[in-house]
Amino acid sequence: MAGYLLLIHRYRNQRLSIEVNASPIRDADTNITGVVLVFHNVTELRGLAKKMSYQATHDSLTGLLNRREFETRLSLAIQRTRNKGGEHALFYLDLDNFKVVNDTCGHNAGDELLKQLTIRLRMELREADTFARLGGDEFGILLEDCSVEHARDTAETIRRVVENFRFVRDNTIFRIGVSIGLVPINEASSNLPEVLSAADSACYVAKEQGRNRIHIYEPDDEAVAERHGQMQWVHRIQNVLDENRFRLFFQPIAKLNRGPLEPVTLHGEVLLRMLDENNRLVGPGSFIPAAERYLLMPAIDRWVITNTFRMLTLNKKRVEERLSTCCINLSGQSLSDERFMDFLVSEIRESDINPRMLCFEITETAVIANLSNASNFISTLRGMGCRFALDDFGVGLSSFSYLKNLPVDYLKLDGCFVQNMIADNIDLAMVEAINQVGHTMEIKTIAEFVEDEETLEAVRAIGVDYAQGYVISKPVPIEIGLYSDPVDYADTDEPEPHIKIVS
Domain of residue 280, residue span: 245-483
User: Does residue 441 lie in a domain region?
Assistant: yes
User: From the CA atom positions of the chain, what is the Rg in Å?
Assistant: 26
Q: What are phi and psi of 146, to 5 degrees?
A: -140, 125
Residues 146 and 17 in one domain: no
Residues 191 and 118 in one domain: yes
Q: What percent of the chain has pLDDT over 70?
A: 88
User: Does residue 131 lie in a domain region?
Assistant: yes
Pairing of strands 32-41, 4-9: unpaired
Q: CB of 184 within 8 A of CB of 87?
A: yes
In angstroms, the first-to-last Cα distance of the chain is 54
Average pLDDT over residues 411-439: 91
The residue type at 466: Y
User: Does residue 226 lie in a domain region?
Assistant: no
CATH code of the domain in which 421 resides: 3.20.20.450
- Rounded Cα–Cα distance for residues 106 and 5 (Å): 48
- Rounded Cα–Cα distance for residues 136 and 285 (Å): 6
- Rounded Cα–Cα distance for residues 358 and 328 (Å): 8
Confidence of residue 188 (pLDDT cuts 50, 70, 90): confident
Helix (H, G, I), strand (E, B) or coil at 473: strand
Least confident window among 51-65, 293-307, 359-373: 359-373
Q: What percent of the chain has pLDDT over 90?
A: 53
In the DSSP assignment, the letter for residue 469 is S
Residues 300 and 367 in one domain: yes
Confidence of residue 28 (pLDDT cuts 50, 70, 90): confident
User: Does residue 291 lie in a domain region?
Assistant: yes
Residue 247, strand partner residues = 273
Least confident window among 28-32, 231-235, 349-353, 423-427: 231-235
Residues 300 and 448 in one domain: yes
* Nearest CA among 460, 474, 462 for reference residue 502: 460
Across the chain, what does the average pLDDT equal? 86
- Residue 290 clears pLDDT 50, i.e. is over it: yes
In the DSSP assignment, the letter for residue 220 is G
Residues 89 and 180 in one domain: yes
- Strand residues in 27-145 grouped as ranges (E): 32-41, 88-96, 130-135, 138-143
- Rounded Cα–Cα distance for residues 181 and 204 (Å): 7
* Nearest CA among 387, 392, 385 for reference residue 367: 392
What is the reported pLDDT for 274?
93
- Rounded Cα–Cα distance for residues 326 and 63 (Å): 34
Residues 293 and 395 in one domain: yes
Residues 330 and 464 in one domain: yes
Confidence of residue 127 (pLDDT cuts 50, 70, 90): very high
Instruction: Give the tens place of pLDDT for each residue, 64-94.
Output: 999 999 999 999 999 999 888 899 999 999 9
Quick check: pTM over 0.85?
no
User: Does residue 227 lie in a domain region?
Assistant: no
- Rounded Cα–Cα distance for residues 203 and 179 (Å): 6
- Rounded Cα–Cα distance for residues 407 and 390 (Å): 10
Average pLDDT over residues 37-62: 79
- Residue 488 clears pLDDT 50, i.e. is over it: no
- Residue 249 clears pLDDT 80, i.e. is over it: yes
What is the reported pLDDT for 495?
36
- Residue 491 clears pLDDT 50, i.e. is over it: no
User: Does residue 343 lie in a domain region?
Assistant: yes
What is the reported pLDDT for 78?
94
- Residue 493 clears pLDDT 90, i.e. is over it: no
User: Does residue 332 lie in a domain region?
Assistant: yes
Half-sphere exposure of 179 (CA within 13 A, CB side): 20
Confidence of residue 289 (pLDDT cuts 50, 70, 90): confident
- Rounded Cα–Cα distance for residues 61 and 413 (Å): 17
Residues 34 and 135 in one domain: no
Residues 12 and 113 in one domain: no
Residues 254 and 168 in one domain: no
* Nearest CA among 417, 474, 484, 478 for reference residue 448: 417
Q: What are phi and psi of 250, to 5 degrees?
A: -140, 125
- Residue 25 clears pLDDT 80, i.e. is over it: yes
Instruction: Give the tens place of pLDDT for each residue, 352-410.
Output: 899 999 999 998 778 777 777 888 899 999 999 999 999 877 655 455 666 777 889 99
- Rounded Cα–Cα distance for residues 204 and 229 (Å): 7
What is the reported pLDDT for 364?
76
Number of domains in the chain: 3
Q: What are phi and psi of 65, to 5 degrees?
A: -60, 155
- Rounded Cα–Cα distance for residues 320 and 358 (Å): 12
Residues 85 and 176 in one domain: yes
CATH code of the domain in which 111 resides: 3.30.70.270
- Rounded Cα–Cα distance for residues 137 and 286 (Å): 9
User: Does residue 477 lie in a domain region?
Assistant: yes
In the DSSP assignment, the letter for residue 219 is G
Residues 473 and 364 in one domain: yes
What is the reported pLDDT for 487?
43
Packing angle, helices 222-242 and 297-314, rounded to 10: 10
What is the reported pLDDT for 261?
55
Instruction: Give the tens place of pLDDT for each residue, 91-121.
Output: 999 999 898 898 888 889 999 999 999 999 9
